[in-house]
Structure 1
């Protein structure tokens, strides 16, 4: 009976694949400071709106985009991979469900903050909004990467 795979060899190969998948799952989760830096950068960007100066807001946009680029480079160098949070494979449904509330919540928070800051002249409202949204960005980033890693570990 040639041509039939050896069940023990096949089981060993599956064990190797499981170990590789678990190692990848461990490798793709960025260090905690990465999420903190992303959240702080986003908080700074939103908070810059409280300055009421276009050049400050423009500088904050440039700094935030540079930070995102730098974080991407650091992530790729430290992990050796890059994955797209919009396509997280086995846990895509969970991520999409979370994104459904994130979009409206983000717009709602920005609307409230902007309304307070610019319509009711509550100075610093966008700073508070930035802190809230920056924290949400950091926590969301952490949650998505850990959810994806857990999906890889489970083989889902």
Structure 2
């Protein structure tokens, strides 16, 4: 069999100087991206409000909850679209081990808040108790969200040796 790259594979490889230059350009691009991923002050309170509304709809009687929940669920992707259009970038996944841990913690708190609100809805507990998980969801988004964003920026801007 013949090699598709020809006999001399070294001709297509970059020199050590070219490789170092490419790596330094990648590091500069990572730093530029990290600088652009800045969440505005209003983002996490808005996200917290949407989360609280989604969770809190469980405290509303049937017709109101059936109307409020779709509005709240529509607000979530709207927030993402507004952010993406305004800042031109969106990071949808954790970028390293530290941001992954905070992201998982945030997801666990939000899932527990929603589960608690559902438990209130389907048990004999008074509906006003669903407001506690709604507040917990709001606080989690407002406190853990900026922490997560900070870690994402640090991990994006870190060089490979710093990340190790």
Higher relative CO (Cα under 8 Å, sequence separation at least 6) belongs to 1
| Counterpart residue number, 2:59 | 50
Cα displacement (A) at 1:17: 4.1
Cα displacement (A) at 1:96: 3.8
Q: The residue matched to 2:42 in structure 1 has which SS?
A: helix
Cα displacement (A) at 1:38: 0.6
Superposition TM-score, scaled by structure 1 size: 0.73
Q: The residue matched to 1:32 in structure 2 has which SS?
A: coil
Gaps of 5+ in 1: none
| Counterpart residue number, 2:86 | 78
Superposition TM-score, scaled by structure 2 size: 0.70
Deviation digits for residues 86-139 of structure 1 (CA, Å, limit 9, x no counterpart) = xx33x1x23443455455544544455555565353341111210111211233
| Counterpart residue number, 1:29 | 38
Residues paired across the two proteins, number: 149
Provide the aligned C-alpha RMSD in A.
Answer: 3.1
Whole-angstrom distance in 2 between the partners of 1:99 and 1:46 = 19
Compared CA separation, residues 107 and 37, structure 1 to 2 (3 A):
closer
Misfit runs of 4+, over 6 Å? 9-13
Tell me, yes or no, if the aligned pair for 1:35 and 1:142 is still in contact at 8 Å.
yes
Deviation digits for residues 42-74 of structure 1 (CA, Å, limit 9, x no counterpart) = 1112112112x2222222221222211211111
